[in-house]
């Protein structure tokens, strides 16, 4: 009987350490093999940058020492860590000053997502959302309006993923005559790793067809390294740009706000990172919030919360605000933290199952989690209209309705609506996909006085329908409800079967 194995690893810690080194070495070997398959120097260089970033993430994943946040260490936010928007609000009538500030700004939109969850092919940013205009159309219109009004050059930068890059570039041709300089860069392409072996699924560099499943874009936290690696960051700094305003392209409320712009530049010597937060409602209880932790501002996501504290996290009274993912960040500071390898973002371990049943792990990061890596970080508590994301067709119904007016690509709540809040809308599975959703409305109902709408089952709406108060429409399985043209439904429950047949 041999005791060599026990001598070699006389403590559990040492065993774990050896296992980690082994896993790291095995991964490195596989990535080197993949790199050898590169067909040219440019591809080899790009793979090198991507794989370096992935290995760094993998190393941190292996070093995971348990929960990233200990609940008992969370402290009350200091007063100056969240500034009310009303405190920074104020007329900036000096157009020359606004032009000066805008000339130092870059707008970055996170454009890596596909429209598949809403039943659409290609990038989500090319889905029509209002007056037949897409997310991308509205974004370009907003920035063009600023550039024309103030005679400045605010560039638009799109972070694409390998899923959206090619299609987005084709669409960009139509903006050639717009007064906006548009740049793109691609976020990293990381290999999915097998759950059991922690080795890449990919055996070669094939990205076509089913093989695309072997790769993934590693979350929007990758923006810092990818922006740096693209060369655009250095280029903008050389041109005198100082801050970026970054947001999700599907957040229609995320426009360049002159008050926040002024605030950021007034504090630029002491502030490198400003996060827009807004008050939680019941619909936002899962949204990440800011906390004070070990003398730093940290973004706390629901995935980091111990199970026994989830209800506390969801409490609107204890954690009153959540992250909109509208961020204002110093460009020189991004350059510094990337070069010093000082970015410290919690790793999101995303377990997935591929079409062939293979269990895989995706290691991702979230852009807002980097708040603790920057100096002078704080939040600005903004009005709710700065957060208008379109994630589902229920959101699409809101922004397509007469609840919103549009001017220069920006949506604002109609002055005819008496309440500042948006209605709560719940649409059943018949409305999940955009094409099906659109086919169920002859036109979008009048919703100016609507508080709550629930629709379930096979339901269609005629022209000129008006919805007020609380309206619930439920067609049971096998039944269908056609709401007649010109109907006024106010505080009504409609159920059963109502068919209107052509004759």
- Residues with active-site annotation: 391
φ, ψ (nearest 5 deg) of residue 76: -60, 140
State both tokens at 12: 């559990």
Hey, which residues does 275 pair with through a beta bridge? 327, 379
Hey, which residues does 246 pair with through a beta bridge? 108, 327
CB-based contact 85:259 (threshold 8 Å): yes
Q: Report the alpha-carbon distance of residue 371 to residue 333 in Å, rounded.
A: 12
Give the closest residue to 204 by CA, choosing from 53, 38, 49, 360: 38
CB-based contact 324:277 (threshold 8 Å): yes
DSSP 379-434: EEE--GGG--B--SHHHHHHHHSTTEEEETTEEEE-TT-SSSSPPEEEE-GGGSSH
DSSP 139-202: HHHHHHHHHHHHT----EEEEE-TTTHHHHHHHHGGGTTSS--EEEEE---EE-EETTT--BS-
CB-based contact 103:240 (threshold 8 Å): yes
Q: Report the alpha-carbon distance of residue 50 to residue 31 in Å, rounded.
A: 10
Give the three-state DSSP class for 249.
coil
Q: Report the alpha-carbon distance of residue 306 to residue 69 in Å, rounded.
A: 9
Q: Report the alpha-carbon distance of residue 74 to residue 402 in Å, rounded.
A: 43
């Amino acid at each position: 009987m041999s005791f060599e194995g026990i001598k070699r690893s006389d403590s559990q810690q040492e065993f774990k350490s050896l296992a980690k080194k082994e896993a790291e070495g095995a991964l490195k070997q596989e990535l080197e093999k993949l790199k050898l398959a590169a067909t040219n120097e440019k591809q080899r260089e790009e793979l090198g940058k991507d794989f370096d970033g992935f290995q760094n993430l993998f190393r941190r994943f292996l070093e995971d020492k348990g929960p990233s946040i200990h609940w008992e260490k969370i402290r009350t936010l200091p007063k100056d860590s969240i500034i009310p928007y009303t405190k920074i609000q104020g007329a900036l009538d000096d157009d020359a000053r606004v032009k000066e500030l805008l000339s130092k700004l870059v707008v970055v939109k996170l454009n890596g997502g596909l429209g598949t969850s809403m039943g659409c092919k290609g990038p989500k940013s090319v889905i029509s959302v209002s007056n037949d205009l897409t997310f991308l159309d509205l974004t370009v219109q907003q920035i063009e309006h600023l550039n024309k009004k103030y005679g400045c050059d605010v560039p638009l930068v799109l972070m694409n993923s390998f899923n959206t890059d090619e299609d987005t570039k084709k669409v960009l041709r139509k903006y050639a005559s717009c007064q906006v300089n548009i740049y793109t860069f691609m976020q990293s392409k990381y290999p999915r790793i097998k759950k059991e072996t922690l080795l890449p699924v990919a055996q070669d560099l094939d990205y076509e067809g089913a093989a695309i499943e072997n790769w993934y874009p590693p979350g929007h936290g990758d923006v810092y390294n990818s922006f740096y690696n693209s060369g655009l960051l250095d280029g903008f700094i050389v041109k005198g740009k100082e801050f970026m305003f970054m947001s999700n392209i599907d957040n229609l409320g995320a426009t360049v706000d002159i008050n926040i712009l002024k605030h950021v530049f007034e504090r630029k010597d002491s502030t490198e990172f400003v996060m827009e937060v807004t008050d939680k409602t019941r619909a936002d209880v899962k949204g990440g919030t800011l906390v004070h932790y070990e003398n730093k501002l940290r973004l706390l996501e629901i995935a980091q919360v111990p199970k026994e504290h989830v209800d506390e996290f969801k409490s609107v009274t204890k954690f009153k605000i959540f992250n909109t993912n509208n961020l204002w960040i110093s460009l020189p500071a991004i350059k510094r933290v990337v070069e010093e390898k000082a970015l410290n973002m919690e790793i999101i371990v995303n377990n997935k199952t591929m079409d062939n049943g293979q269990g895989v792990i995706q290691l991702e990061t979230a852009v807002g989690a980097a708040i603790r890596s920057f100096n002078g970080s704080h939040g600005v508590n903004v009005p709710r209209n700065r957060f208008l994301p379109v994630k589902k067709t229920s959101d699409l119904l809101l922004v397509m309705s007469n609840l919103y007016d549009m001017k220069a690509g920006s949506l604002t709540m109609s002055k005819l609506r008496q309440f500042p809040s948006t209605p709560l809308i719940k649409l059943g599975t018949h409305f999940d996909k955009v094409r099906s959703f659109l086919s169920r409305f002859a036109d979008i109902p009048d919703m100016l006085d609507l508080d709550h709408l629930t629709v379930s089952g096979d339901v269609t709406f005629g022209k000129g329908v008006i919805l007020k108060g609380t309206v619930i429409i439920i067609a049971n399985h096998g039944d269908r409800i056609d709401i007649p043209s010109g109907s006024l439904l106010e505080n009504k429950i409609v159920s059963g079967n109502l068919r209107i047949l052509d004759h």
